[in-house]
Amino acid sequence: MPASVTADPEGARAYAFQYLGGNARNPSYQSALEREGISHPADLALVGDEETVAAGIRRYLDAGATDVRVSPAAFATDEERLRTWRLVGELARDAASHASTPLT
């Protein structure tokens, strides 16, 4: 899932709607979004501070995800991507030390 640890979640989400909008026109993507009751691909993006993004990742794990793949959002700044990678690294180390669900 695209993710961005940012101090400007509203700005990042607005940009995500523009950046990810092309995916919404793909018929197979549209079908998947409709099945999940989601209107736009940006609704899947995890955007916010470290606590918010970590909570979003944990929701996937708690729901039974066996692998969680996080992609620091292409719509983020370099600093935001670095913050995101750091958070994902911390969560992955924590998951590995507790022998829980893989996080990559």
CA distance 104 to 51: 18
Looking at residue 39, what is its pLDDT? 86
CA distance 19 to 45: 11
CB 11 within 8 A of CB 5: no
pLDDT tens across 48-63, in order? Answer: 999 999 999 999 889 9
- pTM here? 0.81
pLDDT tens across 19-51, in order? Answer: 888 887 888 888 888 888 988 888 889 999 999
Looking at residue 27, what is its pLDDT? 87
**Cα→Cα distances 78→18, 36, 93, Å:** 18, 31, 22
